[in-house]
A = this chain, B = another copy of it.
Amino acid sequence: MPRKPTYDREDLIKRARDLFWRRGWAGTSLKDLEAALQMKPGSFYAAFGSKDALFELAMDRYAQDGAERLRVLAQEHGPLQALQQFPDVAIANKDAPAKACMLSKTLLELQAHNHPLASKANQHLLRMEQYFAELFQQAQAVGDIDSRHDPKVLARRYQSDLLGLRVSAEREGIDAKAIAEEISDSLTCL
């Protein structure tokens, strides 16, 4: 009976993610989204409900992809090398819509307004931090990192460094690759 949508929902979410990631929440208008997704307002709202709802889907997708990239790195090279390579991976992608982290951008933009998306971003950041802690712990288990360190402390600092790196990478005239390497190197002597 029904008629099927002409679009690929997952593809639309990815396109929305790229737009939101690059331009931010307020910086992305419905008109921008309509153009990027090739959708009229009616279809848009039938499919996603609201701009905020789509932003949340986009952010979920962003976070999921980031965690997945780290998971693959860990599986291929082990926990320590994954953590060491991740900074460079995070800023190296030329096709990425922005160097800075979408989660931190969202947090900084919307935190002051107590917008639900800001706490959602914080949740995703927390989950990543926990994942980092797990990898630090695994690296300790195999003897790559001194077990006297608290993995949670290491993860907290690592994530902070990563956020700083990615803000710096957004700047012009900054050799972010060098910073990434320094972060990576600082893990070697733990």
Cβ contacts under 8 Å, A163 to chain B? 163-164, 167-168
A139 close to B (CB within 8 Å): no
Determine the main DSSP class of A at the interface with B.
helix
Cβ contacts under 8 Å, A113 to chain B? 23, 27
A141 close to B (CB within 8 Å): no
Would A167 and B112 be within 8 Å (CB), given that A122-B172, A153-B178, A175-B156 are in contact?
no
Stretch at the interface among A55-63, A64-72, A97-105: A97-105
A78 close to B (CB within 8 Å): no
26 contacting pairs across A/B (C-beta < 8 A): A24-B26, A27-B110, A104-B108, A105-B109, A107-B170, A108-B109, A109-B109, A111-B170, A119-B172, A122-B172, A122-B173, A125-B171, A126-B173, A153-B178, A156-B174, A156-B175, A156-B179, A157-B182, A160-B161, A160-B164, A160-B165, A160-B179, A161-B161, A163-B163, A163-B167, A164-B165
Q: In the complex, given contacts A24-B109, A111-B170, what are 16 additional A-B residue pairs having Cβ atoms less than 8 angstroms apart?
A: A24-B26, A27-B110, A98-B112, A104-B167, A105-B108, A107-B167, A108-B109, A108-B167, A122-B172, A156-B179, A159-B168, A160-B165, A161-B164, A163-B167, A163-B168, A164-B165
**Interface positions of A (Cβ within 8 A of B):** 22-24, 26-27, 98, 100, 104-105, 107-113, 119, 122, 125-126, 153, 156-157, 159-165, 167-168, 170-175, 178-179, 182
